[in-house]
Amino acid sequence: MAEALKGALVVGQSGGPSIVINASALGVIRTAFASEHITKVYGAYHGIDGVLDDKLMDMDEAGLIELDKFMYSPASALGSCRTKMPDPKDDDTKYRQVLEVFKKHNVRYFCYIGGNDSMDTCNKISKYMKSVGYDCRIMGVPKTIDNDLFGTDHCPGYGSSAKYIATSIMEVARDAAVYEKGAVTVFECMGRHAGWLTAAAALANVNGHCLDFIYLPERDFDMDKFISDVKSCYEKNGNCNIAVSEGVHYADGSFITEVAASATDGFGHVQLGGLAAYLAAEIKNRLGLKTRGIEFSLLQRCAAHCSSGRDVEEAYMSGRAAVESMLEGTTDKMVGLECVRYPHGGFDSHTVLFDLDKVANFEKKVPLEWINEEGNNVTDAFIEYALPLIQGDSPVRMRNGLPDYTDYNKVFAD
Protein backbone atom coordinates (compact mmCIF):
# COMPACT_ATOMS: atom_id res chain seq x y z
CA MET A 1 0.00 0.00 0.00
CA ALA A 2 1.42 3.32 -1.13
CA GLU A 3 1.75 6.26 1.20
CA ALA A 4 -1.53 8.13 1.55
CA LEU A 5 -1.53 11.29 -0.51
CA LYS A 6 -3.53 14.14 0.99
CA GLY A 7 -5.22 16.59 -1.33
CA ALA A 8 -8.16 17.47 -3.49
CA LEU A 9 -9.77 15.41 -6.22
CA VAL A 10 -10.99 16.70 -9.56
CA VAL A 11 -13.49 14.76 -11.63
CA GLY A 12 -14.27 15.69 -15.21
CA GLN A 13 -16.51 14.45 -18.00
CA SER A 14 -15.46 14.55 -21.61
CA GLY A 15 -16.74 13.77 -25.09
CA GLY A 16 -20.29 12.85 -26.08
CA PRO A 17 -22.52 12.18 -23.08
CA SER A 18 -23.97 8.80 -22.24
CA ILE A 19 -26.97 7.70 -20.23
CA VAL A 20 -24.80 6.66 -17.28
CA ILE A 21 -21.90 9.13 -17.31
CA ASN A 22 -23.32 10.83 -14.21
CA ALA A 23 -23.58 7.52 -12.37
CA SER A 24 -19.82 7.17 -12.91
CA ALA A 25 -19.26 10.70 -11.64
CA LEU A 26 -21.38 9.90 -8.58
CA GLY A 27 -19.27 6.79 -7.92
CA VAL A 28 -16.18 9.00 -7.96
CA ILE A 29 -17.70 11.79 -5.86
CA ARG A 30 -19.26 9.63 -3.14
CA THR A 31 -16.13 7.51 -2.74
CA ALA A 32 -14.02 10.65 -2.56
CA PHE A 33 -16.36 12.18 0.03
CA ALA A 34 -15.87 9.09 2.16
CA SER A 35 -12.06 9.21 2.13
CA GLU A 36 -10.11 10.92 4.88
CA HIS A 37 -7.27 11.56 2.43
CA ILE A 38 -9.31 13.54 -0.05
CA THR A 39 -9.69 17.02 1.33
CA LYS A 40 -12.01 18.44 -1.29
CA VAL A 41 -13.97 17.23 -4.32
CA TYR A 42 -14.16 19.42 -7.39
CA GLY A 43 -16.03 18.97 -10.62
CA ALA A 44 -14.25 20.31 -13.70
CA TYR A 45 -16.67 22.53 -15.60
CA HIS A 46 -16.70 21.27 -19.21
CA GLY A 47 -14.00 18.67 -18.68
CA ILE A 48 -10.37 19.61 -19.09
CA ASP A 49 -11.44 23.10 -20.22
CA GLY A 50 -12.66 23.69 -16.67
CA VAL A 51 -9.24 22.76 -15.33
CA LEU A 52 -7.46 24.97 -17.88
CA ASP A 53 -9.73 27.91 -17.04
CA ASP A 54 -9.68 27.21 -13.31
CA LYS A 55 -13.44 26.71 -13.32
CA LEU A 56 -13.84 24.08 -10.66
CA MET A 57 -17.18 23.38 -9.02
CA ASP A 58 -17.31 22.66 -5.32
CA MET A 59 -19.19 19.34 -5.21
CA ASP A 60 -19.96 19.77 -1.52
CA GLU A 61 -22.28 22.54 -2.57
CA ALA A 62 -24.27 20.34 -4.94
CA GLY A 63 -26.23 18.89 -2.04
CA LEU A 64 -26.89 15.25 -1.39
CA ILE A 65 -30.43 15.23 -2.77
CA GLU A 66 -29.26 16.66 -6.07
CA LEU A 67 -26.27 14.32 -6.20
CA ASP A 68 -28.59 11.34 -5.71
CA LYS A 69 -30.18 12.26 -9.03
CA PHE A 70 -26.82 11.83 -10.77
CA MET A 71 -27.45 8.09 -10.49
CA TYR A 72 -30.06 8.18 -13.26
CA SER A 73 -29.75 11.56 -14.98
CA PRO A 74 -28.56 11.60 -18.60
CA ALA A 75 -26.12 14.05 -20.23
CA SER A 76 -22.93 15.28 -18.57
CA ALA A 77 -24.05 17.10 -15.43
CA LEU A 78 -20.62 18.68 -14.97
CA GLY A 79 -20.46 19.85 -18.58
CA SER A 80 -18.37 18.27 -21.32
CA CYS A 81 -15.82 19.25 -23.96
CA ARG A 82 -14.11 17.87 -27.04
CA THR A 83 -10.73 19.45 -26.31
CA LYS A 84 -7.75 17.40 -27.44
CA MET A 85 -4.45 17.98 -25.66
CA PRO A 86 -1.43 18.62 -27.91
CA ASP A 87 1.76 16.62 -27.63
CA PRO A 88 3.58 18.29 -24.70
CA LYS A 89 6.84 18.01 -26.66
CA ASP A 90 5.40 20.37 -29.26
CA ASP A 91 3.63 22.70 -26.86
CA ASP A 92 3.43 22.31 -23.11
CA THR A 93 1.47 25.53 -22.42
CA LYS A 94 -1.74 23.73 -21.52
CA TYR A 95 0.07 21.24 -19.33
CA ARG A 96 1.68 24.05 -17.39
CA GLN A 97 -1.78 25.58 -16.95
CA VAL A 98 -3.12 22.31 -15.60
CA LEU A 99 -0.15 22.02 -13.24
CA GLU A 100 -0.70 25.55 -11.97
CA VAL A 101 -4.38 24.87 -11.21
CA PHE A 102 -3.53 21.54 -9.60
CA LYS A 103 -0.98 23.27 -7.39
CA LYS A 104 -3.32 26.14 -6.55
CA HIS A 105 -6.05 23.76 -5.29
CA ASN A 106 -3.63 21.06 -4.11
CA VAL A 107 -5.19 18.60 -6.53
CA ARG A 108 -3.64 15.16 -6.01
CA TYR A 109 -6.32 13.02 -7.61
CA PHE A 110 -7.73 13.42 -11.10
CA CYS A 111 -10.47 11.25 -12.60
CA TYR A 112 -11.49 11.71 -16.21
CA ILE A 113 -14.63 10.02 -17.51
CA GLY A 114 -14.71 9.56 -21.25
CA GLY A 115 -13.80 7.61 -24.37
CA ASN A 116 -10.63 7.13 -26.42
CA ASP A 117 -9.73 10.80 -26.71
CA SER A 118 -10.32 11.39 -23.03
CA MET A 119 -8.07 8.47 -22.14
CA ASP A 120 -5.43 10.05 -24.36
CA THR A 121 -5.82 13.32 -22.39
CA CYS A 122 -5.52 11.37 -19.15
CA ASN A 123 -2.46 9.59 -20.38
CA LYS A 124 -0.69 12.76 -21.51
CA ILE A 125 -1.43 14.66 -18.29
CA SER A 126 -0.30 11.70 -16.24
CA LYS A 127 3.02 11.46 -18.12
CA TYR A 128 3.56 15.19 -17.89
CA MET A 129 2.94 15.32 -14.13
CA LYS A 130 5.40 12.48 -13.68
CA SER A 131 7.96 14.30 -15.86
CA VAL A 132 7.77 17.46 -13.76
CA GLY A 133 7.73 15.52 -10.49
CA TYR A 134 4.27 16.64 -9.35
CA ASP A 135 2.90 13.86 -7.17
CA CYS A 136 -0.65 13.06 -8.20
CA ARG A 137 -2.70 10.11 -9.25
CA ILE A 138 -4.63 10.02 -12.45
CA MET A 139 -7.25 7.57 -13.54
CA GLY A 140 -9.55 7.15 -16.52
CA VAL A 141 -13.14 5.97 -16.16
CA PRO A 142 -14.60 4.51 -19.35
CA LYS A 143 -17.69 6.00 -20.92
CA THR A 144 -18.89 5.56 -24.44
CA ILE A 145 -22.10 4.44 -26.04
CA ASP A 146 -19.88 3.32 -28.93
CA ASN A 147 -18.43 0.48 -26.81
CA ASP A 148 -15.15 0.75 -28.65
CA LEU A 149 -12.59 0.97 -25.83
CA PHE A 150 -9.62 -1.37 -25.62
CA GLY A 151 -9.44 -4.11 -23.04
CA THR A 152 -12.70 -3.72 -21.18
CA ASP A 153 -15.42 -6.32 -21.87
CA HIS A 154 -17.80 -3.45 -22.56
CA CYS A 155 -18.12 0.26 -21.75
CA PRO A 156 -20.54 1.82 -19.29
CA GLY A 157 -23.14 3.61 -21.38
CA TYR A 158 -23.36 0.96 -24.05
CA GLY A 159 -25.89 -1.32 -22.32
CA SER A 160 -28.41 1.46 -21.78
CA SER A 161 -28.22 2.74 -25.34
CA ALA A 162 -28.44 -0.84 -26.60
CA LYS A 163 -31.55 -1.38 -24.50
CA TYR A 164 -33.18 1.77 -25.82
CA ILE A 165 -32.42 0.85 -29.43
CA ALA A 166 -33.73 -2.71 -29.09
CA THR A 167 -36.85 -1.58 -27.23
CA SER A 168 -37.64 1.14 -29.75
CA ILE A 169 -37.17 -1.19 -32.72
CA MET A 170 -39.48 -3.75 -31.10
CA GLU A 171 -42.13 -1.04 -30.79
CA VAL A 172 -41.77 0.56 -34.18
CA ALA A 173 -41.57 -2.77 -36.01
CA ARG A 174 -44.90 -3.78 -34.48
CA ASP A 175 -46.41 -0.41 -35.34
CA ALA A 176 -45.17 -0.64 -38.93
CA ALA A 177 -46.82 -4.06 -39.36
CA VAL A 178 -50.43 -3.22 -38.49
CA TYR A 179 -51.70 -2.66 -42.01
CA GLU A 180 -52.37 -5.32 -44.59
CA LYS A 181 -49.88 -3.69 -46.91
CA GLY A 182 -46.52 -3.67 -45.18
CA ALA A 183 -43.64 -1.26 -45.12
CA VAL A 184 -39.87 -1.11 -45.06
CA THR A 185 -38.38 0.70 -42.09
CA VAL A 186 -34.73 1.71 -41.87
CA PHE A 187 -33.33 2.49 -38.42
CA GLU A 188 -30.11 4.50 -38.25
CA CYS A 189 -27.87 4.03 -35.20
CA MET A 190 -24.76 5.92 -34.18
CA GLY A 191 -21.32 4.44 -34.79
CA ARG A 192 -18.90 5.89 -37.32
CA HIS A 193 -16.28 3.13 -37.26
CA ALA A 194 -17.55 0.51 -34.81
CA GLY A 195 -20.95 -1.13 -35.23
CA TRP A 196 -21.70 -2.07 -31.62
CA LEU A 197 -24.78 0.11 -31.24
CA THR A 198 -26.26 -1.02 -34.53
CA ALA A 199 -25.54 -4.64 -33.65
CA ALA A 200 -27.63 -4.08 -30.51
CA ALA A 201 -30.65 -3.87 -32.80
CA ALA A 202 -30.41 -7.68 -32.94
CA LEU A 203 -31.61 -7.77 -29.34
CA ALA A 204 -35.02 -6.63 -30.64
CA ASN A 205 -35.49 -10.24 -31.80
CA VAL A 206 -34.92 -11.87 -28.41
CA ASN A 207 -38.63 -11.78 -27.47
CA GLY A 208 -39.92 -12.56 -30.98
CA HIS A 209 -38.58 -11.83 -34.46
CA CYS A 210 -39.03 -8.31 -35.75
CA LEU A 211 -35.71 -7.10 -37.19
CA ASP A 212 -34.55 -8.54 -40.50
CA PHE A 213 -31.16 -7.07 -41.36
CA ILE A 214 -28.20 -5.33 -39.75
CA TYR A 215 -25.42 -3.54 -41.65
CA LEU A 216 -22.27 -2.57 -39.78
CA PRO A 217 -19.25 -0.45 -40.75
CA GLU A 218 -17.02 -3.49 -40.07
CA ARG A 219 -18.09 -4.82 -43.48
CA ASP A 220 -18.23 -3.01 -46.81
CA PHE A 221 -21.70 -1.98 -47.93
CA ASP A 222 -23.00 -3.04 -51.33
CA MET A 223 -26.10 -1.12 -52.43
CA ASP A 224 -27.27 -3.75 -54.93
CA LYS A 225 -26.94 -6.53 -52.39
CA PHE A 226 -28.79 -4.37 -49.85
CA ILE A 227 -31.68 -3.71 -52.25
CA SER A 228 -31.84 -7.38 -53.14
CA ASP A 229 -31.89 -8.34 -49.42
CA VAL A 230 -34.82 -5.99 -48.84
CA LYS A 231 -36.65 -7.19 -51.94
CA SER A 232 -36.54 -10.87 -51.05
CA CYS A 233 -37.45 -10.22 -47.41
CA TYR A 234 -40.43 -8.07 -48.37
CA GLU A 235 -41.61 -10.59 -50.93
CA LYS A 236 -41.50 -13.29 -48.28
CA ASN A 237 -42.88 -11.44 -45.24
CA GLY A 238 -44.64 -8.37 -46.62
CA ASN A 239 -42.49 -6.26 -44.31
CA CYS A 240 -38.85 -5.48 -43.73
CA ASN A 241 -37.02 -3.86 -40.82
CA ILE A 242 -33.39 -2.87 -41.14
CA ALA A 243 -30.78 -1.37 -38.83
CA VAL A 244 -27.84 0.48 -40.33
CA SER A 245 -24.85 2.11 -38.77
CA GLU A 246 -24.24 5.75 -39.67
CA GLY A 247 -20.74 4.67 -40.63
CA VAL A 248 -21.59 2.12 -43.34
CA HIS A 249 -19.37 2.66 -46.35
CA TYR A 250 -18.67 1.29 -49.80
CA ALA A 251 -15.68 -0.93 -50.51
CA ASP A 252 -13.56 2.13 -51.36
CA GLY A 253 -14.17 3.52 -47.87
CA SER A 254 -16.52 6.35 -48.88
CA PHE A 255 -19.54 6.84 -46.65
CA ILE A 256 -22.94 6.22 -48.26
CA THR A 257 -24.32 9.68 -47.54
CA GLU A 258 -21.16 11.38 -48.84
CA VAL A 259 -21.52 9.60 -52.15
CA ALA A 260 -25.23 10.35 -52.20
CA ALA A 261 -24.58 14.04 -51.58
CA SER A 262 -22.20 14.38 -54.49
CA ALA A 263 -24.17 12.09 -56.79
CA THR A 264 -27.60 13.66 -56.48
CA ASP A 265 -27.36 17.35 -57.03
CA GLY A 266 -24.23 18.75 -55.46
CA PHE A 267 -26.18 21.35 -53.51
CA GLY A 268 -25.68 19.42 -50.31
CA HIS A 269 -29.39 18.94 -49.82
CA VAL A 270 -28.77 15.46 -48.60
CA GLN A 271 -27.67 16.92 -45.30
CA LEU A 272 -31.37 17.52 -44.67
CA GLY A 273 -31.88 13.85 -44.04
CA GLY A 274 -29.42 11.36 -42.75
CA LEU A 275 -28.54 7.88 -43.91
CA ALA A 276 -31.87 6.33 -42.88
CA ALA A 277 -33.83 8.81 -44.95
CA TYR A 278 -31.50 8.30 -47.89
CA LEU A 279 -31.71 4.50 -47.84
CA ALA A 280 -35.49 4.66 -47.39
CA ALA A 281 -35.70 6.86 -50.48
CA GLU A 282 -33.41 4.50 -52.40
CA ILE A 283 -35.65 1.53 -51.56
CA LYS A 284 -38.75 3.48 -52.52
CA ASN A 285 -37.25 4.53 -55.84
CA ARG A 286 -35.88 1.12 -56.76
CA LEU A 287 -38.59 -1.17 -55.39
CA GLY A 288 -41.63 1.09 -55.18
CA LEU A 289 -42.32 0.09 -51.58
CA LYS A 290 -43.66 2.19 -48.76
CA THR A 291 -40.64 3.15 -46.68
CA ARG A 292 -39.68 5.12 -43.63
CA GLY A 293 -36.32 6.14 -42.23
CA ILE A 294 -35.94 6.58 -38.49
CA GLU A 295 -32.80 8.17 -37.09
CA PHE A 296 -32.30 7.56 -33.38
CA SER A 297 -30.12 10.65 -33.27
CA LEU A 298 -29.40 11.98 -29.78
CA LEU A 299 -32.32 9.98 -28.34
CA GLN A 300 -30.18 6.84 -28.25
CA ARG A 301 -27.54 8.32 -25.98
CA CYS A 302 -29.75 10.08 -23.43
CA ALA A 303 -32.89 7.91 -22.98
CA ALA A 304 -32.25 7.44 -19.28
CA HIS A 305 -35.91 6.51 -18.70
CA CYS A 306 -35.05 3.25 -20.51
CA SER A 307 -31.59 2.61 -19.05
CA SER A 308 -30.20 -0.77 -18.10
CA GLY A 309 -30.04 -1.22 -14.33
CA ARG A 310 -26.85 -3.25 -14.70
CA ASP A 311 -25.23 -0.57 -16.82
CA VAL A 312 -26.01 2.09 -14.21
CA GLU A 313 -24.54 -0.09 -11.46
CA GLU A 314 -21.40 -0.84 -13.45
CA ALA A 315 -20.93 2.85 -14.25
CA TYR A 316 -21.14 3.70 -10.56
CA MET A 317 -18.84 0.80 -9.70
CA SER A 318 -16.25 2.02 -12.25
CA GLY A 319 -16.19 5.49 -10.73
CA ARG A 320 -15.83 4.04 -7.24
CA ALA A 321 -13.05 1.68 -8.33
CA ALA A 322 -11.11 4.56 -9.87
CA VAL A 323 -10.98 6.43 -6.56
CA GLU A 324 -10.31 3.31 -4.51
CA SER A 325 -7.41 2.42 -6.82
CA MET A 326 -5.92 5.87 -6.60
CA LEU A 327 -6.16 5.77 -2.81
CA GLU A 328 -4.22 2.51 -2.96
CA GLY A 329 -1.47 4.25 -4.92
CA THR A 330 -2.42 3.41 -8.48
CA THR A 331 -2.05 5.97 -11.24
CA ASP A 332 -2.00 6.11 -15.04
CA LYS A 333 -4.67 3.44 -15.55
CA MET A 334 -8.20 3.12 -16.90
CA VAL A 335 -10.81 1.15 -15.02
CA GLY A 336 -12.33 -1.59 -17.14
CA LEU A 337 -14.81 -4.40 -16.73
CA GLU A 338 -14.04 -8.10 -16.77
CA CYS A 339 -17.05 -10.37 -17.07
CA VAL A 340 -18.02 -13.99 -16.78
CA ARG A 341 -21.01 -15.23 -18.75
CA TYR A 342 -22.37 -18.39 -17.18
CA PRO A 343 -24.75 -20.77 -18.97
CA HIS A 344 -28.47 -19.85 -18.86
CA GLY A 345 -27.82 -16.14 -18.64
CA GLY A 346 -25.80 -15.98 -15.45
CA PHE A 347 -23.43 -13.02 -15.43
CA ASP A 348 -20.80 -11.45 -13.21
CA SER A 349 -18.66 -8.40 -13.72
CA HIS A 350 -15.88 -6.80 -11.75
CA THR A 351 -13.47 -3.97 -12.36
CA VAL A 352 -9.92 -4.42 -13.59
CA LEU A 353 -7.26 -1.89 -14.61
CA PHE A 354 -5.74 -1.24 -18.02
CA ASP A 355 -2.74 0.86 -18.99
CA LEU A 356 -3.81 4.22 -20.37
CA ASP A 357 -1.11 3.88 -23.01
CA LYS A 358 -2.91 0.93 -24.51
CA VAL A 359 -6.42 2.43 -24.31
CA ALA A 360 -5.67 5.85 -25.72
CA ASN A 361 -6.75 6.25 -29.33
CA PHE A 362 -7.57 2.61 -30.00
CA GLU A 363 -10.97 1.66 -31.43
CA LYS A 364 -12.32 -1.81 -30.71
CA LYS A 365 -14.61 -3.05 -33.44
CA VAL A 366 -17.25 -5.76 -33.60
CA PRO A 367 -15.34 -9.03 -34.22
CA LEU A 368 -15.81 -10.13 -37.81
CA GLU A 369 -16.72 -13.65 -36.66
CA TRP A 370 -19.81 -12.18 -34.98
CA ILE A 371 -21.06 -10.95 -38.35
CA ASN A 372 -22.80 -13.47 -40.58
CA GLU A 373 -21.32 -14.52 -43.88
CA GLU A 374 -23.70 -12.43 -45.96
CA GLY A 375 -22.74 -9.36 -43.97
CA ASN A 376 -26.37 -8.50 -43.22
CA ASN A 377 -26.76 -9.64 -39.62
CA VAL A 378 -24.93 -10.62 -36.43
CA THR A 379 -24.59 -14.12 -35.02
CA ASP A 380 -25.84 -15.63 -31.76
CA ALA A 381 -22.40 -15.01 -30.25
CA PHE A 382 -23.20 -11.31 -30.27
CA ILE A 383 -26.54 -11.90 -28.52
CA GLU A 384 -24.78 -13.95 -25.82
CA TYR A 385 -22.33 -11.10 -25.37
CA ALA A 386 -24.82 -8.23 -25.31
CA LEU A 387 -27.96 -9.59 -23.66
CA PRO A 388 -26.57 -9.54 -20.09
CA LEU A 389 -25.69 -5.87 -20.51
CA ILE A 390 -29.29 -4.65 -20.86
CA GLN A 391 -30.74 -6.37 -17.78
CA GLY A 392 -32.38 -4.57 -14.91
CA ASP A 393 -34.74 -1.61 -14.86
CA SER A 394 -33.78 2.03 -14.94
CA PRO A 395 -33.46 3.46 -11.42
CA VAL A 396 -34.99 6.74 -12.68
CA ARG A 397 -37.15 8.53 -10.14
CA MET A 398 -40.30 10.28 -11.25
CA ARG A 399 -41.92 13.54 -10.23
CA ASN A 400 -45.10 14.91 -11.82
CA GLY A 401 -45.22 11.85 -14.06
CA LEU A 402 -41.84 12.73 -15.57
CA PRO A 403 -38.22 11.90 -14.73
CA ASP A 404 -36.77 13.98 -11.93
CA TYR A 405 -33.41 14.72 -13.56
CA THR A 406 -30.76 16.89 -11.96
CA ASP A 407 -30.31 20.53 -12.97
CA TYR A 408 -28.03 21.20 -10.08
CA ASN A 409 -26.93 24.63 -9.08
CA LYS A 410 -23.23 24.88 -9.88
CA VAL A 411 -21.16 26.63 -7.22
CA PHE A 412 -17.60 27.40 -8.25
CA ALA A 413 -14.54 27.32 -6.03
CA ASP A 414 -12.76 30.64 -5.47
Q: Contact, 41 vs 411, CB < 8 A? A: no
| Cβ neighbours around 154 below 10 Å, total | 24
307, HSE (Cβ side, Cα atoms, 13 Å): 31
Residue 135 CB, nearest approach to a copy of itself (Å)? 31
* Residue closer to a copy of itself, measured from CB, 267 or 342: 267
Q: Which is nearer to a copy of itself, 69 or 124 (CB)?
A: 69
- How far is Cα 103 from Cα 251, in angstroms, rounded to an integer? 52
Judged by beta carbon, residue 126 or residue 394, the one nearer a copy of itself is 394
CB of residue 43 to a copy of itself, shortest distance in Å: 13
Handedness of CA 25, 30, 35, 38 (dihedral sign): positive
Q: How far is the CB of 330 from a copy of itself (least distance, A)?
A: 29
Rounded to the nearest whole angstrom, what is the least distance from the CB of residue 267 to a copy of itself in the complex? 6
CA–CA–CA angle 11, 308, 311 (5° rounding): 40
What is the smallest separation between the CB atom of 209 and a copy of itself, expressed in angstroms?
8
Select 235 or 393, whichever has its Cβ closest to a copy of itself.
Answer: 393
Angle between helix 158-175 and helix 309-327 axes, rounded to 10 deg: 170
Q: How far is the CB of 157 from a copy of itself (least distance, A)?
A: 12
Candidate list 120, 146, 148, 229, residue with the active-site label: 146
Q: How far apart are CA 49 and CA 378, in angstroms?
A: 40
Closest to a copy of itself by CB, 194 vs 387, is 387
Which positions ≥6 away from 28 have C-beta within 8 Å? 9, 11, 111, 113, 141, 319, 320, 322, 323
Residue 174: CB minimum distance to a copy of itself, A: 4
For 265, other C-beta atoms within 10 Å of its C-beta total 10
Distance of CA 12 to the CA centre of its chain: 16
β-strands 240-245, 56-58 pairing: unpaired
Instruction: Indicate the residue among 171 and 355 with the shorter CB distance to a copy of itself.
Output: 171
Instruction: Please indicate whether residue 355 is annotated as part of the active site.
Output: no
User: What contacts 80, CB < 8 A, 6 or more positions away?
Assistant: 13, 14, 15, 16, 17, 46, 47
Active-site residue numbers?
146
